[in-house]
Amino acid sequence: MDSQRRVRDAALALCLFAGPAAAADMTLKAAAATSGRYFGAALDPDALGEKPYRGLAATQLTSVTPENAMKWESVEALRGQFDWGRADALVAFAKAHGQKVRGHTLVWHSQLPLWLIQGRFSRQDLRDLMTAHIAAEAGRFKGAIYAWDVVNEPFAADGEWRESIWYEAMGPDYVAIALRAARAADPDAKLYVNDYGVETDGPKMRALRDLVASLKRDGVPIDGVGFQSHFALGRVPADFADVLAKFAALGVDVAITELDVRAPVPADAAALARQAEDYASAVAACRRTPRCVGVTTWGITDDRSWISSFFSGYGAALPYDEAYRAKPAVEAMVKAWTAPAP
Ligand code: XIL
């Protein structure tokens, strides 16, 4: 612990001493380390064969998340036929580079295999399938995963439970059942519930807060809450840090798990400057919250981002551009991580 702090203080001193030039040179992972946090990104294992992509992933990140490679449709497209290839490749990359892995995601309504969606399974079958899937996947990667997004996106925008095969089969209990199964499969992984649209006060944030409070009350294993943080330009909520603090007060870690800031395209210099401020605000919100363990962006470079296919007219959402050049967001984040404590 002490030596960790010494390393952190030395890195911080070096950066402050060397001034702005050092901020420009410092890696994101070194910058995050100065405040004792990780900096991570979602990665596509297929892209790791490309040198510039691999270079950024190897040098800038303390933590990696498989963008799609651990989703159910990716690992078991045909019932009983597991394909762990891409997930294994990512875990191997992380191991080779001393990085943590955030596992994403065990129970979600989306990106499920067709055999599961179309299978007309009974409620009991679905419960058994869910727990068997958790046992298989979290069991396979046991010991290699820092944190699992066990349940992803349980709520709808109005704070009601999201309709899903899991909710229909088990009601709200599916969350506790999933968390217990994950704990049994990998006792050392931190277990998270992860969602979007919960970064500001509102019905969805409150529903998630009430869920976490009740899970803690009932002794269900939950260690953290992930705030996806898919923001539109200029829309990082002013109360983001307050929200993080509210969840931390329930006795869980919090993390920014899928940060991106989408801009109308083409994005001009003013938009990129605004975006840099938004990235810095998200980092600052994490830093203001002692239990915020780190920040993960949903990709690294603009050419490999989900935004343009999901939000028409938007793009340029990530810290590096299509040519792998650092955008203003990179230096802004380095500064936000290393600035004297707020
Ligand atoms: C997205 C991926 O980035 C896309 O490549 C895929 O086509 C769809 O899913 N919330 C999540 C992520 O938890 O898993 C989603 O990832 C983005 C929204």
- Whether omega for the bond prior to residue 20 falls within 30 degrees of 0, making it cis, is no
* Token pair 């509210």 in the structure block, residue: 246
Q: How far is the CA of 312 from the centre of ligand 1 (A)?
A: 15
Return the residue whose CA atom lies nearest to atom 13 of ligand 1: 152
Specify the pLDDT at position 6.
52
Asked if residue 159 lies in contact with residue 204, where contact means CB atoms within 8 angstroms, the answer is: yes
Mutation choice for ligand 1 from 107, 151, 199, 258, CB with most ligand atoms inside 8 A:
258
Q: Which atom of ligand 1 is nearest to the CA of 196?
A: 10
Q: How far is the CA of 215 from the centre of ligand 1 (A)?
A: 26
Furthest CA-CA distance within the chain? 64
Distance CA 63, CA 186 (A): 19
> Does the annotation count 331 as an active-site position?
no
Distance CA 115, CA 110 (A): 13
Structure-block tokens of residue 145: 């995963």
CA-based nearest residue to 199, from 263, 253, 151, 244: 244
Asked if residue 319 lies in contact with residue 297, where contact means CB atoms within 8 angstroms, the answer is: yes
Specify the pLDDT at position 341.
80
Q: What is the rounded end-to-end Cα distance, in angstroms, of the chain?
A: 23
Bridge partner residues of 315 (DSSP): 263
Return the residue whose CA atom lies nearest to atom 5 of ligand 1: 306
> Does the annotation count 67 as an active-site position?
no
User: Which of 76, 153, 199, 331 does the annotation list as catalytic?
Assistant: 153
Specify the pLDDT at position 22.
58
Q: Could you list the mean pLDDT of each consecutive 10-residue stretch along the chain, which spans 342 residues?
A: 48 49 81 98 98 98 98 98 98 98 98 98 98 98 98 98 98 99 98 99 98 98 99 98 98 99 98 98 98 98 98 98 97 97 73
Specify the pLDDT at position 1.
39
Q: Which atom of ligand 1 is nearest to the CA of 309?
A: 7
Give Cα separations from 75 to 81, 83, 195, 296 (angstroms). 8, 5, 22, 23
Structure-block tokens of residue 293: 């363990």
Question: Is there an atom of ligand 1 within 6 Å of 67 CB?
Answer: yes
Question: Is there an atom of ligand 1 within 6 Å of 228 CB?
Answer: yes
Distance CA 94, CA 281 (A): 27
Specify the pLDDT at position 7.
47
Distance CA 149, CA 169 (A): 20
Give Cα separations from 312 to 262, 265, 274, 278, 320 (angstroms). 10, 9, 20, 21, 20
Return the residue whose CA atom lies nearest to atom 8 of ligand 1: 306
Structure-block tokens of residue 92: 């191997």
Return the residue whose CA atom lies nearest to atom 17 of ligand 1: 306
User: Which of 67, 76, 137, 258 does the annotation list as catalytic?
Assistant: 258
